Structure 1
Amino acid sequence: MNKNWKPETMISHFAEDRQKYEGAVVPPIFQNTLFTFENWEAIDAAFDDRINTAIYSRGKNPGVDIVEKKLAQFAGGEKARLFASGMAAITAAVMHCISAGDHIIAIKNIYGPANNLISVYLKKKMGVETTFVSGNDVEEFRNAIKPNTKLIYLESPSSAIFSIQDIKSICILAKSRDIKTIIDNTWASPVFQKPLEMGVDLEIHSCSKYIGGHSDVVAGLIVGSAKEIDSIIVNEFELLGGKIAPIEAWLLMRSLRTLPLRMKAHQENAIKVAEFLEAHAKVAVVNYPGLQSFPQHQLAKKQMSGYSGLMSFKLKASDLSQIKTFFNSLQIFKIGVSWGGHESLIYAPAISYLKELSPEQFDRLGISLGDMRISVGLENADDLIGDLSLALNTIK
């Protein structure tokens, strides 16, 4: 690969040996469970390097391998491993970094199931303790460190309120105390944020979001050093069995070819929608790092090269019936729990958070019934604004 290639060119061609597949412009799907060998010596040698050899598709699959190499290169890591879901990737990454009785520091507003994993499941099963911080000040992390702290878990921007953490400063602190760092970088995607370059040990993505981009794939990703990823492959990945299917990896390869273009379009639409909402009389506040009024906008500009299409806003309404009327009046914005696809979606985080989290956990998030999360898709921005305007006019 030419080292001077820009990301759009690299993501289309890197790791593809087209002559190996008779010049096919799109690599084939290796829809098979196992790979055979000529003799005893060949399969014996394969087991000596089973991380890098195709033996059984739960381990290495040539089609999946192409996508992993593309994603590792794009994110600035040495190696990547795809998983069956974002939560499979999160679980594997966290389990890789901790042992029974360890301590985790995490920001408050992380993805709900990830919150449950580290604060409930691991506490019950392994005696792992978690300290939650806002993440707005590096000193919070410093003050939270204990002798048994082994992991700092970040999500920047965070869920629901999209707060930003000073990634580089936190990583410097973590490395000085021999603490691992994980970041969920799904919001920005590798297009707009490169946490590994800032010192993060493991970068996680829900590929169901922007990397997939078409709302037709559920997948997860971990990117990091070859040493870290190889250890995850032979331990958490192999033992937990969270493999991705060949067809889903192939669909991700399809999506990667348009990822930089899609992210630019999501950003352009989202900024227009955010500015409209910020100026609307029925909206109390808009949480979107791309707005100049966002409290951490300067830090966002420093750490990211752009902004995605996910944001939240608070309605100037507390009556549930009015909130539901607004919610149900939208036509283009469909109601759905995910985000990052081509289509625009709306969701009220309180609906699932009240079911996934305890009242104490929910209170810590600082969200209310009037908080709306929208994923701004690839439709015409004026149409999206018109849809929101009509729905907002239903609020008295």
Structure 2
Amino acid sequence: MDLSYILNELGEERQNYYNAVAPPILQTSNFASNTVADMRYMLQHEPEVHLYTRGNNPTVTILEKKLAALEGAEHAIAFGSGMAAVTAAVLSQVKAGDHIVCVKKPYTWTNALMQRFLPRFGVEVSMIDGTDPENYREVARPNTRLLYLESPNSYTFELQDIAAVVSIAKQNGYSTIIDNSHASPIYQNPLQFGVDLVVHSCTKYIGGHSDVMGGVICGNRETINKIFEREYMTLGAVMSPHDAWLLIRGLRTLPVRMERVAASTRKVVAYLEQHPKVEKVFFPFSPSNPQYELAKRQMRNNSGQFTITLKTDSMERVEAFCNSLQHFLMAASWGGHESLIFPIAASYTDSKLKPSLPFTMVRFYIGLEDPDYLIKDLEQALEQV
């Protein structure tokens, strides 16, 4: 299916809403029936009809069709946040007594789900170094049901060999889920490697403007319909019609934004890799990355995130560097038009419990600004190190 068709036409039955170029925001909670027979049919076929916006809404449906097509999936279901999508996807595959193998250092709240929430309900989780796919096999147990991937994963951006992990899963009857937020559906499509379910934080690249939250699960129609009937309708983490409309707007420019972000990021990374005050740059598409060939095989291009380690042992100098940046906002999320940093030092407190990552690390996201403009800002801030 042509990318331009997906982004600009798929799901948009303009003749049904006065030939409006932009789809309407159907801001309604309820949809009426004319007869008891109509109501009976709607109740029996809710995954396919519009009965109640907590289930289906026409604006949200347009978004779901586009996201499914972008991932090459049969179907998709949208949620109010990326974490809601992750949680529903995982819960759909396990029950009490089951075991999950999950990549180490996933997104913070995915980590909390795996290590704090699921064990309360009798689900065991093993966290492994995903750079070697055999680690998934080695820690598997007779009660293993799910292998969870996040490639590249958060902060240090290690990749998993998706095809190899899927092969292990299929040999043993495990399900697979991957968080594909980092690469976006423009630059990586894990379903092509045989993954069962793909999740995204739509808050990031799909939205693209730092003004909307959302998540999505993409997969085969049977599995998505089961999630709709169980986790989605029960937990109620639904997406609002207005948020879906904002995400549709974000999709219009997704390929153009990703192309700009990719090119700018490579230029900024090249500058930082040669800077004497930078100890290391964590970036999947760096030729010095030991997983560079895997990155090129699985992803069509780089996206906008990388992490640096500053060459200092002083917390004060790390903070001075971060505080001196004038054109990078300090914020937790990413994927919008603005460039950001997230300093690991901010996670350090006076308590004895320290984060697993060193305070000298700073995660970057490159937005849509001119890369030379950003490099000039980095140059003056690195004088503080």
Cα distance, 1:15 vs structure 2: 1.2
The residue type equivalent to 2:364 in the other structure is: I
Does 2:248 align with 1:253?
yes
Q: State the shift of 1:341 in Å.
A: 0.6
SS at match of 2:92: helix
Equivalent residues of 1:8, 1:260 under 8 A apart: no
CA–CA distance in structure 1, aligned partners of residues 212 and 195 of structure 2: 26
**Would the aligned equivalents of 1:80 and 1:223 in 2 still touch at CA under 8 Å?**
yes
Whole-Å separation in 2 of the counterparts to 1:351 and 1:119: 22
CA deviation vs aligned residue, 1:101-136 (integer Å, no higher than 9, x gap): 21110111100111111111111x212211111111
* Cα deviation code 1:187-238 (max 9, x no counterpart): 0000000001111111011111001000000111111110111011010011
Question: Which of 312, 318, 331 does residue 336 from structure 1 map onto?
Answer: 331
Change in 2 beyond 3 A, CA 1:377/1:107: same
1:280-359 counterparts in 2 under 5 A?
280-352=275-347, 359=353
TM-aligned CA deviation for residue 10 of structure 1: 2.4
Q: 1:72 Cα deviation (Å)?
A: 0.2
Runs of at least 4 residues off by over 4 Å: 357-360
| Residue 91 of structure 1: aligned partner | 87
Shift of 1:358: 10
- What SS does the corresponding residue of 1:214 show, helix, strand or coil? coil
- The answer to whether structure 1 residue 13 and structure 2 residue 6 are counterparts is no
Aligned mates of 1:335, 1:65 — CA distance in 2: 34
Contact kept in structure 2, 1:160 and 1:349, CA below 8 Å: no
Residues 1:385 and 2:375 aligned together:
yes
Q: Which amino acid aligns with 2:116?
A: V
Matched, 1:368 2:358: yes
- Corresponding residue pairs, total: 384
SS at match of 1:97: coil
Match of 1:100 among 96, 102, 116: 96
Which of 79, 82, 96 pairs up with 2:75? 79
Q: Report the equivalent of 1:154.
A: 149
**Superposition deviation, residue 359 in structure 1:** 4.5
Aligned residues of 1:85 and 1:218 also touching (Cα < 8 A): yes
Aligned to 2:199: 204
Q: CA deviation at 1:13?
A: 1.1
Shift of the 173–358 alpha-carbon distance from structure 1 to 2, 3 Å rule, reads farther
- How far apart, CA to CA, are the structure 2 residues paired with 1:268 and 1:252? 23
TM-score by length of 1: 0.95
Are the aligned partners of 1:68 and 1:82 in contact in 2 as well (CA < 8 Å)? yes
> 2:325 is matched by which residue type in structure 1?
L
Equivalent residue letter for 2:240: A
Which letter does structure 1 place at the counterpart of 2:360? G
- The CA deviation string for residues 344-382 of structure 1, in whole angstroms up to 9 with x for no partner, is 001113534x58x9948x43xxx2000000110000000
**1:75-102 Cα distance to aligned partner (Å, 9 max, x none):** 1101111101111111101110110121
Query: Is the 8 Å Cα contact of residues 315 and 345 (structure 2) preserved in structure 1?
Result: no
Does residue 1:181 correspond to 2:165, yes or no? Answer: no
Aligned 8 A contact 1:282 1:315 in 2:
yes
Q: Give aligned-pair identity as a percent.
A: 43
| CA distance in structure 2 between the partners assigned to 1:12 and 1:293 by the alignment | 39
SS in 1 for 2:6: helix
SS at match of 1:343: coil
Whole-Å Cα distance in 1 between the matches of residues 352 and 52 of structure 2?
41
Which residue among 41, 48, 54 is the counterpart of 1:52? 48
Q: CA deviation at 1:48?
A: 1.5
Q: 2:220 aligns with which of 216, 225, 232?
A: 225
TM-score, with length taken from structure 2: 0.97
Q: Deviation digits for residues 122-171 of structure 1, max 9, x if unmatched? A: 11x21221111111111111111100111111000010100010001101
CA displacement 1:250-303 (0-9 Å, x = unmatched) = 000000010011000000000001111101000011011121111101000000
Q: Could you tell me which residue of structure 1 aligns to residue 111 of structure 2?
A: 115
Paired letter, 2:156: I
Partner of residue 31, structure 1: 27
Structure 1: distance between partners of 2:95 and 2:69: 30
Residues 110 and 278 of structure 1: CA distance in aligned 2, closer, same or farther (over 3 Å)? same
Gaps of 5+ in 2: none
The CA distance in 1 between the partners of 2:250 and 2:222, in whole Å, is: 28
